[in-house]
């Protein structure tokens, strides 16, 4: 058994396709859990925002992933890694890249954006405005 550590915000299905008689059919699919940086709600309150998640995979699935182009891209960018033993995904994620492009905004992100907009307004930069196309 192997373990995939992921810092991606969403689960990913890595799919191997076979083309037969003009149809694409799934030959193999391995789903790796996501959810890093996404708040988990329980009992009406936010209880956890994991930095990383772990998915157990077979040796065969790990070999499939290591040859899958999409997985290799995630591996190259530091969003996933395969380990031989179960590791604490929180500790493993400390040395990995985070999926800031897909993760939801945190209160800190909103505060930073508001501060940046306030600085722009102080500098005389006009705020963003919606432009509507009036019947053209």
Q: Where are the domains of the chain?
A: 2-102
Whether 1 contacts 57, CB under 8 Å? yes
Q: How confident is the model at residue 36 (pLDDT cuts 50, 70, 90)?
A: confident
92 vs 34: CA distance, rounded Å: 14
Instruction: Using the structure block, give the residue that is written with the tokens 């493993």.
Output: 92
Residue 5 pLDDT greater than 80, yes or no: yes
The token pair at 136 is: 């053209």
The token pair at 90 is: 């929180």
Percent of all residues in the chain with a pLDDT value above 70, rounded to a whole number: 80
- The tens digit of pLDDT for each residue in 60-116 reads 999 999 999 999 999 999 999 999 988 888 888 888 888 777 777 667 777 888 888
Reference 86, options 3, 30, 8; nearest CA is 3
What integer pLDDT is reported at residue 126 of this predicted model?
A: 63
């Amino acid at each position: 058994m192997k373990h995939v550590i992921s810092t991606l915000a969403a689960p990913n299905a890595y799919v191997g396709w076979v083309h037969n008689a003009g149809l694409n059919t799934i030959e193999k699919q391995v789903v790796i859990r996501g959810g890093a940086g996404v708040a988990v709600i329980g009992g009406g309150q936010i209880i956890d925002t994991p930095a990383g998640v772990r998915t157990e995979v077979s040796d065969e699935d790990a070999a499939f992933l290591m040859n899958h182009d999409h997985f290799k891209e995630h591996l190259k960018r530091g969003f996933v890694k395969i380990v031989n033993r179960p590791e604490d995904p929180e500790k493993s994620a400390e040395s990995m890249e985070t999926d800031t492009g897909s993760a939801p905004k945190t209160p800190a992100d909103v505060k930073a954006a508001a501060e940046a907009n306030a600085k722009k307004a102080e500098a005389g930069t006009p705020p963003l405005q919606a432009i509507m196309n009036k019947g053209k």
